[in-house]
Chain A
């Protein structure tokens, strides 16, 4: 990682690849189910990329990485828990109030869609493209990569960043 901090790409890719096993092990210890392990790995690698300047080469890389992985595992579990919680409530609401859908609900839905479209329009071009291809047009990574001429990894990174920006921008809205 010390070499990566100086800009050595090969060393960086090697250390990231070598880190995956430890990240998965930490995530499992934190109670992340198998189907969320890839999410934790992805979130952790992105965080490592953003905060690589905080690593002190005189200290343990594993301890530094494990702390980040543990935090991201908890964040992923919480986010997954919130998601599931909301889905259960939405189903219950749909069952109970299916007949009571009125004009105000429709207008609220339209308003939310407008906010979302406005937030997407404000994203940087590459992030916007990733959301449009992968999120809205529901293209696969391979299709989007073929259509845009950009590699799949870059599209994934852009989509992740776009979703983070959108979450922050739309946070607090009902």
Chain B
């Protein structure tokens, strides 16, 4: 069996360029930084609008509370998975981390919609127009996505589109969670569709731009 050919000149050239490097922060720490920014934003919104109206809406329709809780868990899991998968050599299975909570999020939202159809009296009316939901979710998701891209700038996502979809899901879920603080969701199909459309726009835009934004290496 022949010996493996070693590209010695290239190795020596790379060795000559070697300089000490600062290691990448662990994925959980970078994800935590992003979650902290979302938490601070939530705190500011809670101070502005108060937790009372939101808690009343949840008491009247517990599925809304489940939906919000699942959206928060989805945002955290998707952000963590995006940070993990941006490092070479990590198991592809991380991509599934936000899926269970995302399913609960969709199921709880769908159940709320069904409840509204079966018992119209339970619907909380008087919410803002649906286009406001879309503008809010997309508007909040853009800076959250930008922040996550900044956090991933030193990583090396070998599958940038996959990572971009996860960070899009994280941003959209976080923006949808923040929206529930002051937005009286009415569980109507139009409201649900508006949210779904906004989330799809955010994920789609991140997926479309993923290659350009994350392929630095």
Binding site for B on A (CB under 8 A): 4-7, 9, 12-13, 16-17, 20-21, 24, 38, 41-42, 45-47, 49-56, 59-60, 63-68, 70-71, 141, 151-154, 156-157
B7–A51 touching, CB < 8 Å: no
Of A42, A56, A67, A156, which is within 8 A of B26 by CB?
A56
Interface of A is mostly: helix
Cα–Cα distance between A153 and B6 once the two chains are bound (Å) = 12
Chain A contacts of B156 at CB under 8 A? 47, 50-51, 54, 68
Chain B contacts of A46 at CB under 8 A? 10, 14
A59-B89, A63-B89 are contacts. A5–B20 as well, Cβ < 8 Å?
yes
A5-B23, A38-B5, A59-B89 are contacts. A157–B13 as well, Cβ < 8 Å?
yes
5 closest pairs, A vs B, by CB?
A: A153-B13, A153-B9, A64-B89, A7-B20, A63-B89
Chain B contacts of A16 at CB under 8 A? 11, 14-15
Residue of B nearest to A57 (CB): B23
Cα–Cα distance between A95 and B1 once the two chains are bound (Å) = 45
Interface of B is mostly: loop
In the complex, which of the residues A6, A7, A53, A59 has the most CB atoms of chain B within 10 Å of its own CB atom? Answer: A53
B15–A68 touching, CB < 8 Å: no
Cα–Cα distance between A20 and B4 once the two chains are bound (Å) = 7
Residue of A nearest to B12 (CB): A153
Residue of B nearest to A141 (CB): B9
Cα–Cα distance between A52 and B26 once the two chains are bound (Å) = 14
Cα–Cα distance between A63 and B88 once the two chains are bound (Å) = 8
From residue B155, how far is it (CB to closest CB) to chain A in Å? Answer: 6
A24–B4 touching, CB < 8 Å: yes
A156–B15 touching, CB < 8 Å: no
**B87 in contact (CB, < 8 A):** yes
From residue A33, how far is it (CB to closest CB) to chain B in Å? Answer: 15
Residue of A nearest to B4 (CB): A21
Cα–Cα distance between A107 and B156 once the two chains are bound (Å) = 41
A12–B13 touching, CB < 8 Å: no
Cα–Cα distance between A67 and B84 once the two chains are bound (Å) = 14
Contact mask for chain B residues 56-74; partner A; CB cutoff 8 A; 1 contact, 0 none: 0000000000000000000
